[in-house]
Amino acid sequence: GESVGLHLPTLSVQEGDNSIINCAYSNSASDYFIWYKQESGKGPQFIIDIRSNMDKRQGQRVTVLLNKTVKHLSLQIAATQPGDSAVYFCAENPKTSYDKVIFGPGTSLSVIP
Amino acid sequence: EPEVTQTPSHQVTQMGQEVILRCVPISNHLYFYWYRQILGQKVEFLVSFYNNEISEKSEIFDDQFSVERPDGSNFTLKIRSTKLEDSAMYFCASVDNTYEQYFGPGTRLTVT
């Protein structure tokens, strides 16, 4: 069956360091992946996405890497700031469509000032 | 920047009562969704809605749940007879033509 999961449930980093959050997925047919940030008391907020025909995509201070061979997704945050403290979810949209998004269990990122 | 809004922010109800959670999606979006998140757990899909009908629903979305778009702007989730296990954050989302889902701030439902 489909599943999206995370290797590390919590991550603490020093302010200014880079953060890497990892995610594994099991549905090799999935072709669209998204990272969401959820701050306390708020809804998930889109950070960055990547389609299966890409290996890497960069945004502002964030980079998503996709390794289809091992079905692994990662989110890199450069120069982590206190405002980056949140729970990060990887998610997949199996058909790059208007279908549901399947969320992973989440990683809590804590930035130490 | 346009955003999805939800009301109320917090709803407390007694077991067995009906609740209606309300959402106003972004105005030019055509696909709408409800998700829920039990405290400390991941976000779970409930239902998707397009062209005034349900396009997909999960196992969670049983006969006690219904959705409606009564007036072209609001999108509602009704739970007919709430159970304790319905306590969760409920998120509405709408999607643009890039498949990016925009989530609302959520309604915290507490069933006592």
Q: How distant is the Cα of B23 from the closest Cα of chain A, in angstroms?
A: 13
Contacts of residue B105 in chain A, CB cutoff 8 Å?
Answer: 41-43
- Whether residue A4 is predicted with pLDDT greater than 60 in this model: the reply is no
Name residue B14's amino acid.
Answer: Q
| A59-97 confidence digits (pLDDT tens) | 999 999 999 999 999 999 999 999 999 999 999 987 656
Give residue A1's pLDDT. Answer: 39
Spatial strand order in the sheet of B19-24: B5-7, B19-24, B75-79, B65-68
- Partners of residue B89 on adjacent β-strands: B37, B108
| B85-106 confidence digits (pLDDT tens) | 999 999 999 988 777 889 999 9
